[in-house]
Amino acid sequence: MTFTIGNITRFQNSGKLAKYAGIAPIEKSSGGTEKQLKNEFGNRGLNSMFYSLACRSICAGRNGNTPTNPIFKEYYQKKINQGKTKHQAIVCIMRRTCNIIYGMLREEKEYQPPKQLIEQCRNSFRERKQQEEEKRKLKQEKKEKYKKKNTNS
C-alpha cells in the first residue's frame, strides 16, 4: 500500500491534494445536468490512510469517556445533525484532515489545535453522553414498569 504525497509544492491548494487522494467529489456533466459523484480514483492507499485517521479521530478513547479528538467528534456530530449519513460525515472529517495535513506540510509546522476549543468540545461530548445515559435509563424503567403491569394482570 502506497500513500506517499511526495513534494507538497506540486499541489496548488488543499483541494488538489484531496482530489489526488480521492476524497474530493468529481463532477460529471452532460448537457444542462451536473452531478457530483464519489471519487473512486486517486491514490487509494492515501485515501485509506485518511479514512483510518478520520475513524480513529471520532472514536471514544480507551475509557469511553472522552473522544480521541474532541474537535472532530463534535464536527462529526454536527454533520450528523445536519442530515448527513455517517459515511458522509466521515468523508467531511477526511477532508478537514487533508486540509490540516496540507497546511502542516506547506508551512512545515506542527499542528496545534486551540486548547480552549478542545476543552469546550470535551465538555459537550460529556454532556451529550450523560443525556444519552439518562434516556437509556428512562427507557429501561418504562420497560420494567410495562413488564410489571403485564405480569400483575
pTM of the predicted structure, to 2 decimals = 0.74
Q: Which three cell numbers stand for residue 133?
A: 445515559
Classify residue 110 by its DSSP letter.
Answer: -
Q: Which three cell numbers stand for residue 13?
A: 491548494
Q: Give the mean pLDDT of 90-101.
A: 93
Q: In angstroms, what is the C-alpha Rg of the chain? A: 21
All structural domains of the chain with their residue ranges: 8-152
Does pLDDT of 9 surpass 60? yes
Cα–Cα distance between 123 and 64 in angstroms, integer? 14
For 37-76, write each residue's pLDDT tens digit.
888 888 888 989 999 999 988 887 677 667 778 888 889 9
Contacts 24+ apart (CB under 8 A), 129-134: 129/65
Say what the pLDDT of residue 25 is.
Answer: 84
pLDDT averaged over every residue in the chain: 85
Cα–Cα distance between 149 and 153 in angstroms, integer? 6
Is residue 1 very low, low, confident or very high in pLDDT (cuts 50, 70, 90)? very low
Cα–Cα distance between 75 and 78 in angstroms, integer? 5
